[in-house]
Amino acid sequence: MPRYLVLGNGKMLVNFDQGLNMRDLYYPYVGAENHINGNKNRIGIWVDNSFSWIDEEGWKRELGYLKDTLVTQATAWCEELGVSLSMNDAVHFRHNVYLKRVTVSNLKASTREVRIFFTHDFSINGTEVGDTALYDPTVDAIYHYKRDRYFLINGISSQGGIYQYSVGIKRFAGAEGTWRDAEDGHLEGNPIAQGSVDSAISFRIILEPYQTEELYYWIAVGRNFQEVRQKNQYVFDKKPSRLLERIKTYWRTWVHKYDRDFADLSPKIMDLFHLSLLVVRTQVDQGGAIIAANDTDILKVARDHYSYMWPRDGALVAWALDRAGYPEITSSFYRFCQDILTEGGYLLHKYNPDGSVGSSWHPWIREGEFQLPIQEDETALVLIALWYHYRYHRNFEFIEFLYKPLVRKAANFMVEYRDPSTGLPKESYDLWEERRGIFTFTAAAVYGALKAAANFARLFNDRIRIERYEEAAAEVKKGILNYLYSRELNRFLRGIYFNEKGEIIPDVTLESSLYGIFAFGVLEANDPRVVSTMNAIEKGLWVKTQVGGVARYTNDYYFRKSDDIKTVPGNPWVICTLWLADWYIAKATTEAELQRARMLLEWVADHTMESGLLPEQLHPYTGEPESVAPLTWSHGTFISSVLAYVEKARSMRF
């Protein structure tokens, strides 16, 4: 199940599913470690001797965010029980504290006792082995801990603190967990358990007819008992209601850092732009890693997750954040890239948020021969994004700091790692990580990176390298036009391969990433070869159902929902649809020509999840989210496309 609500502060990230269950809690890195690991941390209601979990049938739910904040606005109500809950959730912007306000309403004309239950199914450091859960009467709170990871759980209403609690064994020796203990409305009060454990607490509220009462609940996270106790006391001292107001104010101020002109874009697009900035912020670790996605339900499909930093995704998202005016976030990303760059000058497949190398399926040997297990576009895109970082912010000293260890080292690698017969980059894996060859997207990115490196060299009057990088870029461009453009098809190829005889084998698959030809500066957007290519993409990769949108490439297999390739060449992807919008924006010369781009931006805004989040891809017939959600790359691309539209619209006015 996709994550419909995400909250974070760069050190702590919390995710919720559509049933309002907390499903992930990451700390101390965004993307690592996950201390819930996809388990359900539920909310239950007992009233009139009846019990129900709010994710069950019979409950209606609405999910979203308070406008322009990282504070949720969710409602759940059950007509049969005669109870409604209005909930606001937040993670403090500085302290590692998750805070929840529950406004409980009695919908009946009688005085009633309502008990609200919260369950805690932790797997600290990603495993259930060796956990401890206990009740501490000195602070009237529950702890879960293992080694240096501590979670203190507490709450209060005007009618008191924790009413009942229980700690027990889960999923072991026949024990299901203390959540079962809650279903009779009474918790047994077991004070401690170790191993595979969980806990539950309840709060008791007496409500007069149609009365409403507020309850506050929080989880303080830290490295020892003292730290979480101090944070618990901080919540009491500062008052939960005031903390929520401060969090709302902080994020509204952050997201409205600039007074933006959105031209003729709709309020719906504007709202999604601001929400996208906030969502992207939750996915950026304080150490600089920009994580692709943190939806652990993908584990059911792949037995691996998206909680990695792909340098490609990270660079494109950083480019969007720089364009939006947030260099204080992206500068950490570029330092991170400097730290992880190999001695050879290239970046590997993907990385964990602490900078260690992530899992990979790219081998170091093929048919008995050594090969670099890389996607070269990932190295190239970092340099392109860094050049735009400098163009937007002019932080010369920062660039001087990175010039030798990052720019020169990566550029020198790209100069050398080329096929002498074509001038193109040598074989590497494509941006979708599925095939190895020489691809148009990769070659275009390398061209753009070498041009960026030459621009950096000019800043320092590094004449030898200016000439070296410019010459290599020109050779790559010549190779692209000679070998990756098909005159027969009147468009660019996805790529080429070499057979055993050294002969070139073209890959004629229609591919959305061919937008890179104009995006990275190889050709202008209105060049006839670009126009024919992008027209072919729109015609051949548009999903011809009521959903619409652009597929990655013809006959895409990933999460495939249809074998009718003519109608559904692949599932529609948010980023691929926005790439088409980017082309319309880039080539527009009049406001009228911008309208197709505006329609594509509206398409994205119309296909968000209920909470406003963007997935990786959509079901081609239902429009439901597929794969992970939210995908950071989707939100980052939307930010960039909106800003490109606004810049072009502004240029036409003056």
Percent of the chain residues topping a pLDDT of 70: 99
CATH 2.70.98.10 placement within the chain: 41-254
Q: Determine the average pLDDT of the residues in 176-189.
A: 93
The β-bridge partners of 157 are 160, 215
Q: Determine the average pLDDT of the residues in 595-607.
A: 98
Question: How many Cβ atoms from other residues are within 10 Å of residue 428's Cβ?
Answer: 24
pLDDT at 301 over 70: no
**pLDDT tens digits for range 230-276:** 999 999 999 999 999 999 999 999 999 999 999 999 999 999 999 99
What are the backbone angles phi and psi of residue 496, rounded to the nearest 5°? -135, 160
pLDDT at 299 over 70: no
Band (174; pLDDT cuts 50, 70, 90): confident
Helix axes 267-282, 632-653, angle to 10 degrees: 140
pLDDT at 297 over 90: no
Q: Are 493 and 501 in contact (CB under 8 A)?
A: no
Q: Determine the average pLDDT of the residues in 378-392.
A: 98
**pLDDT tens digits for range 445-479:** 999 999 999 999 999 999 999 999 999 999 999 99
Q: What is the CATH number of domain 41-254?
A: 2.70.98.10
Band (304; pLDDT cuts 50, 70, 90): confident
Question: Is the four-CA dihedral 647, 650, 652, 654 of positive or negative sign?
Answer: negative
Question: Is the four-CA dihedral 472, 476, 478, 482 of positive or negative sign?
Answer: positive
Residue type (1 letter), 491: R
pLDDT at 654 over 80: no
pLDDT at 298 over 90: no
Q: Over the chain, what is the mean pLDDT?
A: 96
CATH 1.50.10.10 placement within the chain: 310-510
Token code pair at residue 211: 């009365």
Q: Determine the average pLDDT of the residues in 114-140.
A: 96
Band (350; pLDDT cuts 50, 70, 90): very high
Q: Determine the average pLDDT of the residues in 424-451.
A: 98
Band (303; pLDDT cuts 50, 70, 90): low
Q: Which class is domain 310-510? A: mainly alpha
Q: Are 375 and 442 in contact (CB under 8 A)?
A: yes
Task: Give the pLDDT score at 300.
Answer: 67
* Nearest C-alpha neighbor of 115 from the set 29, 188, 215, 26: 215
**pLDDT tens digits for range 18-71:** 999 999 999 999 999 999 999 999 999 999 999 999 999 999 999 999 999 999
pLDDT at 550 over 80: yes
199 vs 654 pLDDT, higher one: 199
Band (175; pLDDT cuts 50, 70, 90): confident
292: three-class secondary structure by DSSP? coil
pLDDT at 375 over 70: yes
**pLDDT tens digits for range 319-328:** 999 999 999 9
